[in-house]
Amino acid sequence: MSSAVCVRFITLRVVSSPTFYLQFQAPPLDVTSMISGGIHHPVLRKWQNNGRNLTKSMFIYPIFLSDDPDAEVVISSLPGQKRWGINKLEAFLGPLVKKGLKGVILFGVPEAMEKDPRGSPADDESTPVIQALKFLSKLFPQLMLTVDVCLCEYTSHGHCGILSSLPNPGHSNAPTVDPEASAQRIAEVAVAYAKAGAHCVAPSDMMDGRIKAIKLGLMHAGLGNRCALMSYSAKFASGLYGPFREAAGIPANFGNRKCYQLPPNARALARRAIVRDANEGADIIMVKPSLPYLDIISDCTQYAPNHPTACYQVSGEYAMIVAGAEKGIYGLKDMAFETTESMVRAGASIILTYFTPQFLDWLDEDQ
Ligand SMILES: NCc1[nH]cc(CCC(=O)O)c1CC(=O)O
Ligand SMILES: [Zn+2]
Ligand SMILES: [Zn+2]
């Protein structure tokens, strides 16, 4: 017996009240108050994840492809990321595939090709993503090839669709698009990518009706059962795409995208977009950006419960995390885990992130 208990015992004897004595002898312990017993060992901590661990196959790595076949160009706004030419892809991706890379998403960045209002370079036979799809599907047959489908890397005006010819008074900086012409054009581009070997097409344009147009296009081309459709369903007009726009060579003076991307506080509208795209034939629903939109990720599990939920940790989220780590605010690996685990907790089972190469190492280490 410790001396403290003895002292208390003696004191109680002196007071000599039987009820007081009993209270101390058998205090009303709340057993539910003690939870740290379940997390004192690293393995115990893993067991607290509700069966939802980060795994290598959850990660999709975004890759920027130049039309210069020998390019290996540093993207200054996106630390550690480069624009790659087709001749560099084998040396770049080979080691990652060996480490367990399961999926990439390709973005074309034509630098020499001539852009026009309908985004003609998007599905030109020589366009970098078509060239890369043909090459990569032979080189790494197990690697899941997703392609971002959008017109903004290919249009002269830098917008994601075909612009409306109708005037838009008072909204000169937020042009409207022609939804039907845009959906048709985007479907045409998506089918071209599927024909070139894409296992999944991921339209990021946010044009109304494009999911149905793409699904029908794939089916008419006989590719409906060979190409998945991942919809950027809840894509918000975010300040976090800045580094991407430099990476993808979007003209700086193109105005904003508020007339087709969702307003950040529009939760109900996001739910409508999720339900709509699920009903139009999407196979996977995506939320973008991720960290400020965890509630929307969670909504996907409720409003499209029969579809996997993906989320995109976008360029600005990545750059912010890297910058904070460089400032010593936190450790890079810790914050990469904390943010992506929050996405998994909210309901995501697929994560698009520029941290993918690091995760292939980190997931092999003791965390
Ligand atoms: N439609 C283009 C597109 N596809 C993916 C991203 C963002 C990716 C990132 O920021 O990492 C964007 C940017 C945008 O809409 O401005
Ligand atoms: Zn776009
Ligand atoms: Zn408007």
- Annotated ligand binding at 185? The verdict is no
Per-residue confidence in pLDDT tens, the chain, 367 aa: 344 444 444 444 445 555 555 555 666 678 888 889 899 998 899 889 887 889 999 999 999 999 999 999 999 999 999 999 999 999 999 999 999 999 999 999 999 999 999 999 999 999 999 999 999 999 999 999 999 999 999 999 999 999 987 766 666 677 788 999 999 999 999 999 999 999 999 999 999 999 999 999 999 999 999 999 999 999 999 999 999 988 888 876 677 888 899 999 999 999 999 999 999 999 999 999 999 999 999 999 999 999 999 999 999 999 999 999 999 999 999 999 999 999 999 999 999 999 999 999 999 997 6
Q: What is the pTM of this model?
A: 0.90
Binding-site residues, ligand 1, Cβ < 6 A = 148, 150, 152, 160, 204-205, 241, 244-245, 314-315
- Annotated ligand binding at 150? The verdict is yes
The pick from 83, 147, 149, 150 for probing ligand 1's pocket by mutation, whose C-beta has the most ligand atoms within 8 angstroms, reads 150
- Annotated ligand binding at 200? The verdict is no
The pick from 241, 250, 352 for probing ligand 1's pocket by mutation, whose C-beta has the most ligand atoms within 8 angstroms, reads 241
Going by C-beta distance under 8 Å and a sequence separation of 6 or more, which residues neighbour residue 284? 200, 228, 229, 230, 231, 307, 308, 309, 310, 350
The pick from 64, 152, 254 for probing ligand 1's pocket by mutation, whose C-beta has the most ligand atoms within 8 angstroms, reads 152
pLDDT of residue 364: 95
Which residue matches tokens 């058998």? 26
Q: Ligand 2 is a single-atom ion; what residues have CB below 5 A from it?
A: 150, 152, 160
Q: Distance, CA 203 to ligand 2 centroid (Å)?
A: 9
- Annotated ligand binding at 300? The verdict is no
**Which residue has a Cα nearest atom 14 of ligand 1?**
241
From the CA of 152, the nearest ligand is 2
**Which residue has a Cα nearest atom 7 of ligand 1?**
241
**Residue 47: exposure state from Cβ atoms within 10 A (0-12, 13-18, ≥19):** exposed
Q: Distance, CA 255 to ligand 2 centroid (Å)?
A: 13
Q: Distance, CA 168 to ligand 3 centroid (Å)?
A: 7
SS3 105: strand
Tell me which architecture the domain covering 59-362 has in CATH. Alpha-Beta Barrel (3.20)
CA torsion sign for 73, 327, 354, 249 is negative
From the CA of 355, the nearest ligand is 1
Q: Distance, CA 199 to ligand 3 centroid (Å)?
A: 35
**Which residue has a Cα nearest atom 3 of ligand 1?**
204
Residues annotated as catalytic are 235, 288
Residues 50-71 as b or e (16 or more Cβ within 10 Å = b): eeeebeeebbbbbbbbbbbeeb
**Which residue has a Cα nearest atom 16 of ligand 1?**
241
Are residues 120 and 75 in contact, defined by beta-carbon separation less than 8 angstroms? Answer: no
Q: Which parts of 160-305 fold into alpha helices (H)?
A: 179-195, 210-220, 242-247, 267-279, 294-303
Q: Distance, CA 149 to ligand 2 centroid (Å)?
A: 8
The closest-lying atom of ligand 1 relative to the alpha carbon of residue 204 is 1
pLDDT of residue 246: 86
Q: Ligand 3 is a single-atom ion; what residues have CB below 5 A from it?
A: 171, 174, 259
pLDDT of residue 23: 53
pLDDT of residue 202: 98
Q: From CA 189, how far away is CA 201, in angstroms rounded?
A: 10
Q: Distance, CA 224 to ligand 2 centroid (Å)?
A: 24
